[in-house]
Structure 1
Amino acid sequence: MKKWLMNAAAALCFLLGLIFAVVPGPSVIFFLIGLTLLAVHYPLARKYVRVCQTTLTRGCRLLDSKLAKK
């Protein structure tokens, strides 16, 4: 029951992320929430969470360095 509920919540978050990708909204946040919910039960989702974490960290460092130069 708990796994089914987590999967349903993850699907809802992914759906909201897709909707917000078309209309203005926080699509990345909803995609990450859905992926994190899936990572509780699925090892492949954990791998993608790590990839997202490293990519977002690298992007934030790049943005910080660009903003620090100004």
Structure 2
Amino acid sequence: MKKTFFTFFAILFFVLGAIFFIVPGPSLIFIMLGLFLLSFYYPKARYYLKRCQSLLQKSCYAIDKALKK
């Protein structure tokens, strides 16, 4: 029951993230939230969540470095 609940809401957040790619909105937040919910039960989702977090961290460092100049 719990796995179904988490999977349903993860898919819902992925769909919202996909919609927000088309219209302006916080798409990355919804996609990462969907990955977070899936990572409780699916190890592959945990891998993608860690990868997404590291890529976002690198991009934030690059933006900070560019803004300091």
Superposition TM-score tier, normalisation by shorter sequence: over 0.9
Query: Between Structure 1 and Structure 2, how many residues are aligned?
Result: 69
Q: Which residue identity does 1:36 align to in structure 2?
A: F
1:26 & 1:50 partners in 2: Cα distance?
A: 19
Alignment match, 1:2 = 2
Aligned position for 1:34? 34
SS at match of 1:28: helix
In the alignment, the residues of structure 2 paired with residue 42 and residue 12 of structure 1 have an alpha-carbon distance, to the nearest angstrom, of: 17
- Say what the alpha-carbon RMSD is for the aligned residues: 0.5
Identity %: 48
Q: Following TM superposition, by how much is the alpha carbon of 1:56 offset from its aligned partner in structure 2, in angstroms?
A: 0.5
Shift of 1:5: 0.3
Deviations 1:2-50 (A, max 9, x none): 0000000000000100111111111111000001100010000010011
Q: Which residue of 2 aligns with 1:25?
A: 25
- What is the alpha-carbon distance in structure 2 between the residues aligned to residue 15 and residue 3 of structure 1? 18
Q: State the AA in 2 paired with 1:34.
A: G
Q: TM-score, normalised by structure 1?
A: 0.96
